[in-house]
């Protein structure tokens, strides 16, 4: 997927395509995570769709839940698990988005560790 440190650096046009692919993958992961949250809040917490979307988006974005009461233990456990899941999604998506830039920087400045004959 990435060029070897002995290969030439990727041309700007192809690099932009790589960044776009990573960004698209990140958007898809965030969309799927948001869908899980909206569905969970709607089904388990019995929130209307708009309120479920607001709660899921606020937690996924790291802002915390809106002050909607959660009626059952199942809803509270879902909200707890979703908050932890959202934190991991944030870290993973950040890695996916930054990976092409970090690789290009390492490639450009020759920070890839040299290996013996491959």
**For the chain, what are the domain ranges?**
12-108
Exposure string over 66-101, b if 16+ CB within 10 A, otherwise e: eebebeeeebeebbeebeebbeebeeebeebeeebe
- Which range (49-53, 66-70, 95-99, 112-116) has the least confidence? 112-116
Q: Which fold has domain 12-108?
A: Helix Hairpins (1.10.287)
Hey, how many other C-beta atoms are within 10 angstroms of the C-beta on 52?
A: 21
pLDDT score at 88: 94
- Report pTM: 0.81
Q: Which of helix, strand or coil describes residue 45?
A: coil
Residues 64, 58: contact at Cβ < 8 Å? Answer: yes
59 falls in which pLDDT band (50, 70, 90)?
A: very high
Residue 117 has pLDDT above 60, yes or no: no
């Amino acid at each position: 997927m990435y060029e070897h440190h002995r290969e030439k650096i990727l041309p700007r046009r192809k690099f932009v395509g790589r960044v776009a692919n990573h960004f698209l993958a990140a958007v898809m992961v965030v969309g799927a995570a948001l869908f899980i949250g909206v569905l969970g809040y709607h089904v388990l917490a019995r929130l209307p769709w708009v309120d479920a979307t607001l709660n899921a988006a606020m937690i996924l974005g790291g802002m915390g839940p809106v002050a909607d009461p959660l009626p059952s233990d199942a809803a509270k456990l879902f909200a707890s698990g979703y908050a932890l899941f959202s934190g991991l999604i944030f870290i993973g998506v950040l890695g996916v988005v930054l990976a092409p830039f970090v690789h290009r920087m390492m490639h450009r400045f020759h920070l890839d560790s040299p290996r013996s004959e491959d």
